[in-house]
Amino acid sequence: MPRYFLLFAFLLITIAASAGVVRGRVTDAQGGAALAFANVAVRSTTTSTATNEQGSYQLRLPAGQYELVFQYVGYKPRIEQVRVAGGDTATVLDVTLTSETYKLREVVVRSTDRDPAYAIIQQAQQWRRYHRREVAAFRARAYIKALGRFLEVPGKILGLVKVGPDFKPGIFYLSESVSDMSFRQPNVIQERMISSRVSGDTKGISFNRAGRGAGLNFYDNVLKSGFSERGFVSPIADGAMLFYKYELEGTSQQGGVTVHKIRVLPRRRTDPVFSSGYIYIVDGTWRIHSVSLNLDKNAQLDYVESFHIEQLFAPAPGPSDVWVIQSQKITVGFTAFGFKGNGYLTAVLSNYKVTPTYPNRPAPTTVAPPVAANEPAEAPVTRETAADIRKQKPKLAGLNREVRRQTKKAERDTAGLSIGKLKRGEVMLVEKGVNERDSSYWDSIRPIPLTEEEQKDYQVKDSTEVVRNSRPYQDSLDRVRNKLQPTSLLLGGYSYSNTFRKRQWYMAPVFNILNYNTVEGTVINPEFTYTQRTDDRRFYSITPAVRYGFSNELVSPSLSATWQYAPAKLARVSFRVGRFIENFDPHTQLTPFINSYYTLFENRNYAKLYRRDGAQLSYQTEATNGLTLQGTLSYYDRRELFNNTIDLLVDKPGRAFTPNEPVNDESPTGTSFGRNQSAAFELVASFRPGQRYISRPDGKYNLGSKYPTFVGIWRQGIGGVLGSDTRYTLLELGIRQTIEMGLLGTSSYKVAGGGFVGDPQLSFMDYRHFSGNRTYLAADFSQFQLLDYYRYSTRNNFLEAHYNHHFNGFFLNKVPLLRKLKWQEVASLNYLTTKEVGHYVEIGVGLEHIFKVVRLDFYTGLQSGRRVGTGLRVGIGF
């Protein structure tokens, strides 16, 4: 009997201690409208959630008495007592929030005074650097939900490409994820995804990532929205008053602190600024309480019509005087190529464990004069001058040192702040099984309840997933997708897919299949690629091709294949075998289409071709994070080719075709080689230090690095092997990087230098070539645009450099007419030095984003200080 009594008592204790659910709806007091994404937090704890688009919320809490704090930007916070019963019960608590009344105190003003908001913003600017670094490290639980929906779907994209049956109005993407994340100064964020769910795809893994929102820190001077190349000035940036006007709409008491509501207005809508909204500043500490800001069409967003962001901050748990972000909501409306829709991404952070930078808040240099004891609370006050405020700057001496000290301390605190051992550079780890949770798990852990639309999307897509993934269903969709569209065949080629078996057959576009040159005449070069994929990014592809020139009557069959067998290291093996008709410069900008046009219509046979028969074998792998190695071993029998036709469509008087022999300054006797054999080996090593990456069950995804990429190349001609006539060694080192420069735009550069060792024995195709351009059409704006294709190719030492700067509309956005066109300015500089060229420089200025996809540049070429040419170049420039 006692055993049964103990068992009964144990059951009672278990039921009493089990979690219950508090759910309800948060609405507006005036119209009863739902308050979407309002914050709901358990007072004096790290537990919080947010409402969904319909204003509904839910919290799963252990049995007990709680105080819930309901907050919404611009509304009065409300605290409600609630008792949570045990036994997995549900408690309904609906809450109505009223708009916050922000009162303006009477202020003694002078004729030269500005709005009181400017003094508050100046205080926030002075404390910005501290608040940006007041948290040395933290750990938190992040829940993220992302949704995208189509409102309108066109029949064809740009009237050319037919839209497939997969696209239709409604939700096209819905996912949820839960992660543990850690942060360390200056900006080291790591995550471990605990669970993930993608609507309609049980094998899918969400791409939600809390660290992606790191670019939306309003304590930074410039924020990146992710939808534009431009950065946007924070309302409390150091120079924000040059970009914004401010209006103090009032002050209120919230949770024991005084909060100022400040309206943010752009001085010029052409500037990279938020178009409207509010920022809420806490009096005395001058930190951000919350933000609600918008970007509109003036922001030059790419394919996005509207962008709205809300952030809500709250005190971190513990005695320290630091605040952390509780929730963030981003909503967008987009229009692109006939598609119209909207979506949102909401994130809730909870369960914080924080390491502050300072144990106590730094004191200001001078303290504001105290209010007299007998002065009424609502007595008029005199505005402080800008000079008075500057005297109250915080004492931040030693801030960097303190940040480093506390960060190292947090790194040693593996028990408190660690989310598990992640490798160096690994910013996110998604382990196997995160997508295997059932719906009951999500019902228990999901902090934001689903809306009716989201529930229906999960139910419909999950219940029909087996049918949608079945062979009959996929075959029915493939019959529609695989219909041949003449425009697709002309521009991008034709694909025939078997989705169920993950197979695809691809035929190259007409512009690649059919071309013309003076060596072969009309060329037909059909290429077909067969690709077989797996679920984890492994694949193999085979490409047979048969090239035929009608003038030289030469058949050139070939076969290429690639096998990627290691998704984590992206290791792959590839080979090519057969007969190939190649340009002497293997990396030329002179595409077959461009050369065909200039040959037929301009009497310019720029392409110089030769024949090679043989094979090559390549292997590529990422040996360690950031270090990629690629080795290629080849053997070819190479033969010189000659012009076989002078046919053209438009005859330019006084202009004749040139022989199929490149003219080169380092080969004054000519570049003719007759026939030779070449055995060669090439090793390319690319190293990007500090590379960040995401590990997922289906492979490794590299995210880049703040450091440049270093490239080393060793190309070796191997003499005496199978009759090889070449013997040379080419060594080359290079560096490339893209640099974000805030409001001034983005710069990119690449530099390469090296040369041949000793006295090389080689033919002209083995020279180090430089990608030039003699046409109006630019295939690559990061290369030379006025340089001859072959004239300065070298068998000696060389140094080349390329620099491009995209101003992202820094100047043109200030011109009303040009602002509407959304054109953006760009500048470039190209440099080359070799034994023969001396010092060659190209300077270019241009416009990009013309009709969204066109770039137009004007270049001037200088050789040893003497102008050698000018020209316009047009190409693709997104």
Among 581, 521, 584, which Cα is nearest to 557's? 581
Q: How far is CA 711 from the centre of its chain?
A: 23
Q: Which residues of 268-297 are buried (b: 16+ CB within 10 A; e: fewer)?
A: ebbbbbbbbbbbbbbeebbbbbbbbbbbee
Residue with more model confidence, 62 or 576: 576
* The pLDDT of residue 371: 40
d(CA 827, CA 91): 63
CA separation for the pair 664, 132 (Å, rounded): 58
DSSP annotation of 384 reads P
pLDDT exceeds 70 at position 214: no
- Pure H helices in 802-865: 816-821
Among the residues of 34-184, which ranges form H helices? 117-132
Q: What pLDDT is attached to residue 854?
A: 93
Looking at per-residue confidence, does 762 or 401 come out higher?
A: 762
Distance CA 140, CA 417 (A): 9
Q: Of all residues in the chain, what percent carry a pLDDT higher than 70?
A: 92
pTM for the predicted model, two decimal places: 0.84
Q: What is the mean pLDDT of residues 125-142?
A: 91
User: In this structure, what token pair is assigned to residue 849?
Assistant: 């984003």
Lowest model confidence (mean pLDDT) among 78-87, 185-194, 690-699, 749-758: 78-87
Instruction: Look over the chain and give the mean of its residue pLDDT values, rounded to a whole number.
Output: 86
One DSSP character per residue, 200-231 reads TBTT------GGGGGG--TTSSEEE-SS-SSE
Higher-confidence residue of 215 and 759: namely 759
Is the pLDDT assigned to residue 112 strictly greater than 50? no
What is the pLDDT confidence band of residue 402, given thresholds at 50, 70 and 90?
Answer: confident
Instruction: Specify the pLDDT at position 196.
Output: 93
Q: Are 140 and 359 in contact (CB under 8 A)?
A: no
- The CA–CA distances, whole Å, from 519 to 381, 515, 611, 658, 846 equal 88, 12, 11, 11, 35
Residue 9's pLDDT is what?
35
- Confidence category of residue 676, pLDDT binned at 50, 70, 90: very high
- Span of 44-53, 198-207, 380-389, 517-526 with lowest mean pLDDT: 380-389
Separation between Cα atoms, residue 815 and residue 153, nearest integer Å: 34
For residue 632, the model assigns a pLDDT of: 98
Per-residue pLDDT tens digits for 309-342: 999 998 888 777 889 998 899 999 988 878 899 9
> Which of 119-133, 294-308, 539-553 bottoms out in mean pLDDT, i.e. has the lowest?
294-308
Please report the pLDDT score of residue 103 as a whole number.
Answer: 64
The neighbouring-strand residues paired with 497 are 504
Report residue 3's pLDDT band, with 50, 70 and 90 as the boundaries.
very low
Q: Using DSSP, state whether 96 is helix, strand or coil.
A: strand
Looking at residue 735, its amino acid is I
For residue 245, give both structure tokens. 């006007």
Kindly report, residue by residue over 723-744, the tens digit of the pLDDT.
999 999 999 999 999 998 888 8
Instruction: Compute φ and ψ for 723, nearest 5 degrees.
Output: 75, 20
Cα–Cα distances (Å) from 728 to 155, 356, 662, 815, 835, in that order, read 57, 60, 21, 56, 18
Q: Which residue did the predictor score with more confidence, 777 or 75?
A: 777
> Per-residue confidence at 268, pLDDT binned at 50, 70, 90?
confident
Q: For 436-493, what is each residue's pLDDT tens digit?
A: 888 888 888 888 888 899 999 999 988 888 888 888 888 888 888 888 877 777 778 8
Beta bridge partners of 146: 175, 345
87: alpha, beta or left? (left if phi > 0; alpha if psi -120 to 50) = left
DSSP 769: -
* Size of the chain, expressed as the number of residues it contains: 878
Q: pLDDT tens for residues 598-635?
A: 999 999 999 999 999 999 999 999 999 999 999 999 99
Token pair for 55: 């204003």
Most confident of 103-107, 504-508, 751-755: 751-755
Please tell me which residue, 14 or 703, carries the higher pLDDT value: 703
* Distance separating alpha carbons of residues 55 and 49, to the nearest angstrom: 12
Phi first, then psi: give them for residue 771, nearest 5 degrees: -70, 100
**Quick one: DSSP state of residue 98?**
-
Comparison of pLDDT for 501 and 73, the residue scoring more: 501
Ranked by mean pLDDT, which of 18-32, 87-101, 451-465, 629-643 comes out on top? Answer: 629-643
Contact (Cβ atoms closer than 8 angstroms) between residue 70 and residue 95: yes
Q: What pLDDT, on a 0 to 100 scale, did the predictor assign at position 224? A: 82
Q: CB within 8 A of 370, min separation 6: which ones?
A: none
CA–CA separation, 116 vs 152, rounded Å?
46
The mean-pLDDT minimum among 154-163, 441-450, 839-848 falls in: 154-163
pLDDT at 293: 94
Please calculate the CA angle 867-870-873 and round it to the nearest 5 degrees.
Answer: 150
Tokens for 289?
Answer: 């309480």
pLDDT at 521: 96
Q: In this structure, which amino acid lies at residue 398?
A: G
Report whether pLDDT(42) > 80: yes
